[in-house]
Amino acid sequence: MVGSLGQSVVSAMKSDRDTLRDDLIQRIGFSPDPFQLKAFDSIDANESVLVAAPTSSGKTLVAEYGILVALARGQTVIYTTPIKALSNQKMKDLSKWLGKENVGLLTGDNSIRGDAAVVVMTTEVLRNMIYAASDRLEDLGLVILDEVHYLQDPYRGPVWEEVIIQLPKHVNLVCLSATVSNADEVSDWISAVRGYCACVVERTRPVALHDHYLLYEKGSRRLREFRTLSDGFPNPEVERYLAKAGGARQRDGRQRGSRAGRPRRAEILRHLDDRNQLPAIIFIFSRKGCEEAVRSCVDQGVTFLDGRQQRVVEAIAEEHCAGLTDEDLALLGYHEWLEGLQCGVAAHHAGMVAPFKEAVEDCFAAGLIKTVFATETLALGVNLPARSVVIEQISRFRGEGHVALTASEYAQLTGRAGRRGIDSIGHAYTLWSPYESYQQIAELAANKDFELDSSFRPTYNMAVNLMAQKNRDDAIDLLQLSFAQYRSNRRVAGWMRKMENAREKLRVNESKLDATQHRESTEQRPNVIGSGQLNKSLKKIKPGSLITHNRQSGHRLLLVIGTSTRRDGTTRLRVVTTRGKTLLVTSSDFEELPEVLDQVALPKPFAPNRREFQRAASNAMKRHIIEKEISLATPDPKNNRAIIGNKEVQRKAANARIDIRVLENQIRTADGGLGRTLDLIIEVLEKFDCVKGWSLRPAGQRLQRVFNESDLLIVLCIEHGCFDGLDPSSLAGLVSLLTYEHRSRVEPPSPWYPNAMLRTRAKSIDRLWAKLRVEESKRGLSVTRSPDPTLFSAVHGWAAGHSLDEVLDEDFLVAGDFVRHIKQVVDLLSQIAEVATNSETARAARQSIKALDRGVVAIATRLGENEASEVATIQDGEPT
């Protein structure tokens, strides 16, 4: 059933601006904010627009208005999201609004109404449509790029830039981004690439956010809460408390002996409940940790629901899990999971099977879940706002080690706190930890400067698609349109100015050094200087002068502590050495004119004849020499002056040279870095007979249609027959080597192969990867990740018809992760079926897909009211 707004738009397809806005306001129930109205104006003016605003501030409303305007103009719309789960949710939301017959979905899992007026897809699918020159692009009027700040993601960010650069120019963009400090730079780049793009920035959250710092006070055995910041700076009250609490930080980074402790999860929930700050999302960067947190709360008797609410929760859970067998439910821990739901607590992470995860989302939206323990994937646009957010720790494990949250990630997580129209204040909690200092937490909370950068780089797939469509010069020109190059070009002007300044500094300081060297070469002292000249020089020297005493027998520094004139007119100096000796010297003791290097403050009272004064003067001289870094043993008195003057000149000259080298390298990289990378990639492609010159070979043509991080390796496997002559289960297992990457700290099981032939095929894939790695390493390119056999036995067993219980090893792989990885294998198999040179291999790939798509896997890909699902024609490699 099409909603009233959907009916007015989709049926009539024509409406004026005021009618569209009135309908929108009527649907949402409140007037749009000024930043939303500003974005509406840009859409009405047929302009692209970038909207950068805090999480939950209403960016989606701009996208919805864009959809209305495009449909009213008779155009179609594509709505892109970064992950499949968000695409699925967005498809459901839009279907409720516009009617399901007007909304489609294209992901690697599903192809539903691909010709609908509005189609939701991942960004990778749209990129692939552009390369395939899809007919869908002809009447396309608007593309919505949700979470466009993803373009800085090191793995998937380049896809966003490919879309922005190569999408037909007649298509407008609505780009939705988290708050970034350089939004105007991003919009300027889009304007330069595609035509004018308005920039709308909103920095104020619709619901105020209060940051809190929570700890367990061991003395009182209660939780102690502080505001994290005071006027935007670290709260001095927290600093004073922690200083009194004490505790020494050990070598391992832990703080021991402190009277502060880490709050327990059940205590946190009671604390929030007492302050009426539920519902809450507690972010735990571990799937296992999320599950354990739920179990701990249940075991400690935490419950928020009454009997009636528990029955509603059970009905929701049963509805979502209706397609699972009793055996599957038992293996998935259904009853344990339901027990947590009925207590009002639940986990939410990518390792959960879809029916469980969707049930949690529906229960939370209905107000039946008071606390969700979630991984960071919940912050990626899944619409589950809460009153409070708790971040258990500000670092997370990333395969090889722990990585600290960035300020933008912290803002994304805490952005879920505060429900518009319900809460006046949202609350974000961080916890005391022996591993993380309060200062680190305060810096994250205070930092509002999130600059968006580019991770754009050419890939093998991009290279062959560019070669198929453009000549080399045009391809290089296209790379120059990237945000990475745009930023570099803007930086180059500043770098050039800095380099000119560095060169001028170098010139000035080298001139000073040359002048010194010139004096040293032209002002040679004679071995014997006339006594009259020497005596005249000594008369000018006063007590406190630090002078040079250079002779053929040695060189030293002397401090003058007194002067006198003899009857014959000869000047005599009373001096002390650095060793404390006192001497009387006259012109006959000098072979060269003494050089006055500096003045030393003499001791008081002035008594040069007294031994105590002489020792004190000698010590003062030594301190002065050390402080001024004056050399004691240089053969040339001019060099002592250089220690005071020339040493600084030399340092400045050296720094200028370093600055010039760094800046020259930055400018050289900016001027031709992407083009050079493309050339290196083409060299690798030529090495493996995918291209010849600027022409594609058959392998290169196949590479055009393979979208995967290991794209070239996959094509090489096809070319070398690694997938030929295999039954469906063996093919599925072997393909998993190219889709799975073990990142867990849990040691995976040893590889298992059912026969020697498959073991040999796996070794062949390893050898191909090794050859590819050598060529990539030689050229300084990113190395393709190595094949990983960890999942072979599970995928092989599932494709062979074994039960979930038989194939699942829960010590390192939970059911939800297994389903997700199976879907990735299916995605790659569908691509192999399209490009395989051997027709039997293509047929085996299609049979493998059917064998894998059953049971809990099939249910995970099912959407809505038992919609028919089929694998999309244009496949991708996007995450779930």
Closest CA to 27 of 80, 67, 73: 67
Q: Report the pLDDT value the prediction gives residue 304, as an integer from 0 to 100.
A: 93
CB 247 within 8 A of CB 236: no
pLDDT band, residue 287 (cuts 50/70/90): confident
Is the pLDDT at 732 greater than 90? The verdict is: yes
Six token digits for residue 530: 């006339």
Name the residue with higher pLDDT: 632 or 407: 407
Q: Report the pLDDT value the prediction gives residue 145, as an integer from 0 to 100.
A: 93
Query: Could you read off the pLDDT of 355-381 as tens digits, one per residue?
Result: 898 899 899 988 999 999 998 776 565
Q: Distance of alpha carbon 385 from its chain centroid, rounded?
A: 23
User: Cα–Cα distances in Å, from 723 out to 247, 716, 727, 824, 833?
Assistant: 60, 11, 10, 17, 11
CB 151 within 8 A of CB 452: yes
| CA–CA separation, 498 and 505 (whole Å) | 11
Q: Report the pLDDT value the prediction gives residue 381, as an integer from 0 to 100.
A: 54
Q: Highest mean pLDDT: which of 288-297, 719-728, 854-863?
A: 719-728
Six token digits for residue 129: 């449509």
CB 732 within 8 A of CB 826: no
User: Cα–Cα distances in Å, from 50 out to 3, 41, 174, 200?
Assistant: 28, 13, 6, 6
Is the pLDDT at 462 greater than 80? The verdict is: yes
Query: Could you read off the pLDDT of 661-695 as tens digits, one per residue?
Result: 777 766 665 656 678 889 999 999 999 999 999 99
Cβ neighbors of 325 (< 8 A, separation 6 or more) are 855
Name the residue with higher pLDDT: 871 or 470: 470
| CA–CA separation, 172 and 745 (whole Å) | 45
Q: Report the pLDDT value the prediction gives residue 740, as an integer from 0 to 100.
A: 87
**Helix (H), strand (E), coil (C) string for 196-245:** CEEEEECCCCCCEEEEEEEEEECCCCEEEEEECEECCEECHHHHHHHHHH
Six token digits for residue 472: 């080399």
Cβ neighbors of 193 (< 8 A, separation 6 or more) are 164, 165, 481, 486
CB 880 within 8 A of CB 823: yes
Token look-up 């080690």 returns: 401
Q: What is the pTM of this model?
A: 0.71
Over residues 500-519, the mean pLDDT reads: 72
Q: Using a pLDDT cut of 70, give the percent of the chain over it.
A: 84
pLDDT band, residue 383 (cuts 50/70/90): low
| CA–CA separation, 578 and 556 (whole Å) | 9
Q: Which of 206-210, 566-570, 727-731 has the lowest mean pLDDT?
A: 566-570
Over residues 688-707, the mean pLDDT reads: 94
| CA–CA separation, 183 and 199 (whole Å) | 7
CB 42 within 8 A of CB 51: no
Six token digits for residue 137: 């692009």
Rg (CA), the chain: 37
Q: Highest mean pLDDT: which of 102-111, 555-564, 663-672, 801-810?
A: 555-564
Is the pLDDT at 394 greater than 50? The verdict is: yes
| CA–CA separation, 445 and 869 (whole Å) | 44
Q: Report the pLDDT value the prediction gives residue 402, as an integer from 0 to 100.
A: 67
Q: Report the pLDDT value the prediction gives residue 559, as an integer from 0 to 100.
A: 93
Q: What angle do CA 279, 221, 273 make, to 5 degrees?
A: 15
Which residues lie across from 397 on neighbouring strands? 402
Six token digits for residue 695: 């022409």
| CA–CA separation, 57 and 79 (whole Å) | 19
Q: Report the pLDDT value the prediction gives residue 787, as an integer from 0 to 100.
A: 94
3-state helix, strand, coil in the chain (%, to 5): 50, 15, 35
Q: Which of 396-400, 434-438, 638-642, 874-878 has the lowest mean pLDDT?
A: 874-878
Over residues 335-356, the mean pLDDT reads: 90
pLDDT band, residue 251 (cuts 50/70/90): very low
> Quick check: helix, strand or coil at residue 396?
strand
Over residues 347-357, the mean pLDDT reads: 85
User: Phi and psi for 186 in degrees, rounded to 5?
Assistant: -65, -45
Query: Could you read off the pLDDT of 182-195 as tens digits, one per residue?
Result: 899 999 999 988 99
**Helix (H), strand (E), coil (C) string for 610-646:** CHHHHHHHHHHHHHHHHHHCCCCCCCCHHHHHHHHCH
Q: Report the pLDDT value the prediction gives residue 869, as an integer from 0 to 100.
A: 30
Instruction: For residue 122, count other CB atoms closer than 10 A to its CB.
Output: 26
Q: What angle do CA 51, 52, 54 make, to 5 degrees?
A: 130
pLDDT band, residue 524 (cuts 50/70/90): very low
Cβ neighbors of 367 (< 8 A, separation 6 or more) are 279
Q: Report the pLDDT value the prediction gives residue 817, as an integer from 0 to 100.
A: 80
Q: Which of 242-256, 333-347, 692-706 has the lowest mean pLDDT?
A: 242-256
Q: Report the pLDDT value the prediction gives residue 668, as an integer from 0 to 100.
A: 61
Token look-up 């594509």 returns: 78
Alpha-carbon torsion angle 442, 445, 450, 456, nearest 10: 80
CB 607 within 8 A of CB 574: no
| CA–CA separation, 862 and 354 (whole Å) | 9
pLDDT band, residue 351 (cuts 50/70/90): confident
Over residues 393-421, the mean pLDDT reads: 78
Token look-up 């354990």 returns: 292
Q: What angle do CA 509, 512, 518 make, to 5 degrees?
A: 145
Mean pLDDT over the full length of the chain: 83
Q: Report the pLDDT value the prediction gives residue 341, as an integer from 0 to 100.
A: 95
pLDDT band, residue 591 (cuts 50/70/90): confident
Sign of the Cα torsion 663, 665, 669, 671 reads positive
Six token digits for residue 614: 């002489």
Is the pLDDT at 552 greater than 60? The verdict is: no
Q: Using a pLDDT cut of 90, give the percent of the chain over it.
A: 37
User: Cα–Cα distances in Å, from 712 out to 4, 363, 850?
Assistant: 50, 44, 26
Closest CA to 378 of 174, 630, 89, 124: 89
Residue type, 11: S
Over residues 590-602, the mean pLDDT reads: 85
Q: Report the pLDDT value the prediction gives residue 865, as an integer from 0 to 100.
A: 35
Over residues 483-506, the mean pLDDT reads: 75
State the burial class of residue 252 (Cβ atoms within 10 Å of its Cβ: 0-12, 13-18, 19+): exposed
Closest CA to 266 of 215, 301, 224: 301
Name the residue with higher pLDDT: 31 or 781: 781
End-to-end, the C-alpha distance of the chain in Å comes to 29
Cβ neighbors of 502 (< 8 A, separation 6 or more) are 656, 659, 660, 663
Q: Report the pLDDT value the prediction gives residue 877, as an integer from 0 to 100.
A: 42
Is the pLDDT at 873 greater than 50? The verdict is: no
Closest CA to 5 of 83, 103, 99, 142: 99
Q: Which of 31-45, 565-579, 792-806 has the lowest mean pLDDT?
A: 565-579
